[in-house]
């Protein structure tokens, strides 16, 4: 249960091809995160899997059964929408029970499952309220509750946390990870927040303009990005990409150094520059360094105690083992 | 308006318009009530003596009154049922993406802009006329006996004409309500295993409840006073078959020149309209709460 395979799947809206032929396998029980910049086709891909959009060509298999033309209800998947999509005129209990009611389940069994889901999600006290009387986080949990009562083959989440404030987001992130540990059901999770992707995923799928740039575990993507796009997208702050003579020294067309792999000093180092904006996070400080002659800005992570100010001189030394090299096509060189 | 001061100021500011509206309403109402207690017939000029409840007694015991009352309720109820159901169906149709949507929408709304007298005449002469009407041609074409709508089913015909006028209004309001339905809700319901019919029953209809309430309340106000359509088609007849309260009041005061009884009828109509209003608010008013 819960293995999803996409085989040469494409999607066009009219003349615009949003997803060129795409292959992907999602294994049973995996937590897969789709990340990519806005408009890269993450939601579209998820909706293709859900059956809310028809594929233009190709095949989708769920548990080895061809599901390409099955209606959404028959695919055994549950989806949590960004806007929650709760039914406003129904109580929380009725919302959660709705898929069971549609499946024609008897009332006692419905109640049992709703109570179980409410217990798991801490919703027991709110069962008789309407969605309009709940906070954002509670609504999100109701939406998840509605998904779990069906015991689906897989969960699909489309940016479920993007409407929540930062603190709540961290909390819900943990809750969803916890839920995955508990249910061991396949989950596909769409986000453009790479922190969410890194912290939650077993496997990350990086999308760019409908094309899969790389698939791998979070650390794999961090340590060995397959190309410049993935290198720039995974990691925060972004990797510094340097071109020109400095890259040529490494026999590459471009090199990438992460801010955390640059040593900074006020006295000496390989590259010299001038401090621009500094962002103090307490534990760390991120300096935006200008006038290095290498790139417009280089971001560097320094310890929180580094006493440099705007306009000060700064010296940077890259960790030679952590330099990523890219060829003219932007692909990683070994 | 949060502070005591701004509330007081607001009351002061709106008082002139409230007073004006009050006069606007009170003066004609008081005159009507006053006339309803007089023996006041235009054919018998002279003194208009005070007669107390006589006019009311006369109006309420008139056999035409009960017929008119029933006709009024049938007319309002019938048109409401037709326009609400038809409006939901048409709204759903217009909500589908289709070719020439803009034009079709304008066409659907058009009847609302036709004056009641004109549309009633068009229906009477072009459609329902048993000799020249389109329906008569159609019946003859099918080898049937032409049906004389206005004399054989006068009330039904008027219900049809009035529904035709009000259907655009209902459609328009219900269409906008449908367009404000979050598509993700429908998609969620689809994923939850709800078929098209269940989605309509459990998601679309509850979403429309407020709009339907608005349609019912507004239309009731106007439908209680349908007049022009009756005047130009059946003149309330045959007999009293298509006389509603409004038409009865008109007949009393301007056909029989009995202002007193007409006024009494007007007051009775006001009371009845309020009863209908209270009844409606009890029944569906809660849909308007947020
Ligand atoms: N119904 C549609 N008709 C035409 N184009 C569409 C339609 N839906 C999506 N697109 C296009 O497909 C592309 C991918 O859209 P999609 O919603 O999948 O992006 P996304 O990766 O989810 O972005 P975001 O992170 O902003 O949600 C976009 O360029 C969008 O304009
Ligand atoms: Mg999206």
For residues B80 and B214, what is the distance between their CA atoms, to the nearest angstrom?
A: 12
Q: Give residue-wise pLDDT tens across range A297-321.
A: 999 999 888 888 888 999 999 999 9
Q: Indicate the residue of B184, B190, B206 with minimum beta-carbon distance to A83.
A: B184
Q: Which homologous superfamily does the CATH classification assign to the domain defined by A237-326?
A: Nucleic acid-binding proteins (2.40.50.140)
B221 CA to chain A: closest CA distance, Å? 28
Ligand 1 proximity of A39 Cβ (cutoff 6 Å) = yes
Tell me, in angstroms, the distance from the centre of ligand 2 to residue B183's CA: 14
Low-confidence ranges of chain B (pLDDT < 50): none
Q: Give residue-wise pLDDT tens across range B210-235.
A: 899 989 988 998 998 899 989 998 88
Predicted structure pTM score: 0.79
Q: Are A62 and A77 in contact (CB under 8 A)?
A: yes
B42-79 burial code (b ≥16 CB/10 A, e <16)? eeeeeeeeebeebbbebbeebebbebbbebbebbbebb
Kindly state the tokens that stand for B178: 């449908």
For residues A52 and A13, what is the distance between their CA atoms, to the nearest angstrom?
A: 14
Q: In this predicted structure, what is the pLDDT of residue B97?
A: 82
Q: In this predicted structure, what is the pLDDT of residue B178?
A: 92
Q: Could you read off the pLDDT tens digit of each residue along chain A, which spans 334 residues?
A: 678 999 999 999 989 999 999 999 999 999 999 999 998 999 999 999 999 999 999 999 998 889 899 998 888 899 999 888 999 999 999 999 999 999 888 999 999 999 999 988 888 999 999 998 898 888 988 999 999 898 899 999 999 888 888 888 888 899 899 989 988 999 999 998 888 899 999 999 999 999 999 999 999 999 999 999 999 999 888 999 998 888 888 899 999 999 999 999 888 889 999 999 999 998 999 999 998 888 889 999 998 888 888 889 999 999 999 999 999 988 998 8
Q: How many other C-beta atoms lie within 10 A of the C-beta of residue A322?
A: 13
Q: Using the 8-state DSSP alphabet, how is residue B41 labeled?
A: B
For residues A92 and A87, what is the distance between their CA atoms, to the nearest angstrom?
A: 9
Residues of B in contact with A79 (CB under 8 A): 187-188, 191
Tell me, in angstroms, the distance from the centre of ligand 2 to residue A232's CA: 20
Same fold, A4-230 and A237-326: no
Q: In this predicted structure, what is the pLDDT of residue A292?
A: 85
Residues of B in contact with A87 (CB under 8 A): 185, 188-189, 202-203, 206
Chain-chain contact of B192 with A77 (C-beta, under 8 angstroms): no
Task: Calculate helix-pair angle for B259-284, B4-35, nearest 10 degrees.
Answer: 140
Kindly state the tokens that stand for A201: 């995923």
Residues 6 or more apart in contact with residue A317 via CB below 8 angstroms: A262, A263, A264, A265, A269, A270, A271
Tell me, in angstroms, the distance from the centre of ligand 1 to residue A232's CA: 22
Tell me, in angstroms, the distance from the centre of ligand 2 to residue B139's CA: 57
Q: Give residue-wise pLDDT tens across range A237-294.
A: 899 999 888 888 889 999 999 999 999 988 888 999 999 999 999 899 999 999 888 8
- Write the residue with the smallest CA distance to atom 28 of ligand 1: A39
Nearest CA in chain B to A97: B192
Q: Are B20 and B226 in contact (CB under 8 A)?
A: no
**Long-range contact set of residues A241-248: C-beta below 8 Å, sequence gap at least 24:** A241/A295, A241/A326, A242/A294, A242/A295, A242/A298, A243/A295, A244/A294, A246/A294, A247/A325
End-to-end CA, chain A: 38
Q: What residue segments make up the domains of chain A, in order of their start?
A: 4-230, 237-326
A42 CA to chain B: closest CA distance, Å? 16
* Consecutive H or E run containing A6: strand A4-13
B143 CA to chain A: closest CA distance, Å? 48
Q: In this predicted structure, what is the pLDDT of residue B199?
A: 92
Fold of B54-289: MetI-like fold (1.10.3720)
Q: Are strands A186-191 and A31-35 parallel, antiparallel or unpaired?
A: parallel
Distances (CA, A) of A328 to A255, A289, B232: 11, 26, 85
If we measure between CA atoms, which residue out of B231, B91, B109 comes closest to residue B174?
B91
Ligand 1 proximity of A40 Cβ (cutoff 6 Å) = yes
* Domain covering A4-230: architecture: 3-Layer(aba) Sandwich (3.40)
Is A139 an 8 Å CB contact of chain B? no
Q: In this predicted structure, what is the pLDDT of residue B150?
A: 81
Q: What residue segments make up the domains of chain B, in order of their start?
A: 54-289
Put the strands of the sheet holding A57-62 in their side by side order.
A16-26, A4-13, A57-62, A65-66
Q: In this predicted structure, what is the pLDDT of residue B1?
A: 53
């Amino acid at each position: 249960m819960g293995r999803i395979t996409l085989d040469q799947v494409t999607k066009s809206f009219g003349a615009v091809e949003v997803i060129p032929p795409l292959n992907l396998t999602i294994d049973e029980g995996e937590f897969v995160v789709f990340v990519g910049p806005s408009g890269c086709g993450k939601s579209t891909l998820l909706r293709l899997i859900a059956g809310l959009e028809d594929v233009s060509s190709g095949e989708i298999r769920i548990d080895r059964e061809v599901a390409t033309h099955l209606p959404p209800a028959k695919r055994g998947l549950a989806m949590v929408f960004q806007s929650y999509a709760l039914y406003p005129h129904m109580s929380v209990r009725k919302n959660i029970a709705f898929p069971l009611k549609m499946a024609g389940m008897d009332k006692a069994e419905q109640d049992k499952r709703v109570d179980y889901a409410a217990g798991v999600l801490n919703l027991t006290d709110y069962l008789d309220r309407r969605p309009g009387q709940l906070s954002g986080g509670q609504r999100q949990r109701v939406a998840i509750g509605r998904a779990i009562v069906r015991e689906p083959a897989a969960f699909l989440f489309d940016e479920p946390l993007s409407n929540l404030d930062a603190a709540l987001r961290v909390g819900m992130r943990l809750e969803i990870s916890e839920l995955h540990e508990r249910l061991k059901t396949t989950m596909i999770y769409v986000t453009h927040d790479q922190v969410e992707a890194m912290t939650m995923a077993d496997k990350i799928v990086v999308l760019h303009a409908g094309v899969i740039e790389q698939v791998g575990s979070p650390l794999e993507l961090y340590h060995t990005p397959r190309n410049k796009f993935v290198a720039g997208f995974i990691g925060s702050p972004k990797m510094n990409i340097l071109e020109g003579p400095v890259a040529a020294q490494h026999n590459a067309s471009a090199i990438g150094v992460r801010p955390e792999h640059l040593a900074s000093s006020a006295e000496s180092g390989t590259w010299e520059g001038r401090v621009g904006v500094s962002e103090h996070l307490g534990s760390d400080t991120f300096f935006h360094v200008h006038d290095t002659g290498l790139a417009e800005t280089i971001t560097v992570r320094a310890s929180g105690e580094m006493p440099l100010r705007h306009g000060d001189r700064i010296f940077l030394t890259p960790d030679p083992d952590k330099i990523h090299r890219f060829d003219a096509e932007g692909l990683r060189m070994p | 308006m949060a502070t005591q001061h701004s509330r007081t100021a607001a009351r002061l500011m709106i008082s002139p318009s409230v007073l004006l509206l009050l006069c606007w309403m009170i003066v004609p109402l008081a005159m009507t009530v006053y006339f309803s207690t007089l023996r006041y017939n235009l054919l018998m000029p002279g003194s208009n003596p005070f007669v107390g409840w006589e006019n009311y007694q006369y109006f309420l015991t008139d056999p035409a009154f009960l017929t008119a009352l029933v006709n009024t309720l049938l007319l309002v109820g019938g048109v409401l049922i037709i326009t609400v159901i038809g409006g939901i169906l048409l709204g759903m149709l217009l909500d589908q993406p289709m070719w020439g949507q803009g034009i079709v929408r304008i066409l659907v709304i058009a009847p609302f802009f036709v004056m009641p007298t004109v549309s009633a005449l068009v229906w009477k002469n072009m459609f329902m006329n048993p000799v020249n009407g389109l329906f008569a041609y159609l019946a003859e074409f099918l080898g049937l006996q032409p049906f004389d709508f206005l004399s054989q089913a006068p009330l039904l015909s008027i219900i049809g004409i009035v529904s035709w006028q009000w259907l655009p209004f209902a459609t328009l309001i219900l269409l906008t309500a449908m367009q404000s339905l979050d598509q993700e809700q429908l998609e969620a319901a689809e994923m939850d295993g709800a078929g098209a019919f269940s989605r309509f029953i459990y998601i679309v209809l509850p979403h429309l409840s407020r709009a339907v309430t608005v349609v019912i309340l507004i239309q009731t106000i106007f439908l209680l006073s349908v007049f022009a359509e009756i005047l130009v088609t059946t003149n309330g007849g045959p007999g009293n078959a298509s006389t509603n309260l409004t038409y009865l009041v008109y007949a009393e005061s301007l056909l029989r020149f009995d202002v007193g009884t007409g006024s009494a009828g007007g007051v009775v109509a006001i009371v009845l309209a309020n009863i209908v209003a209270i009844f409606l608010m009890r029944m569906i008013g809660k849909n308007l709460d947020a």
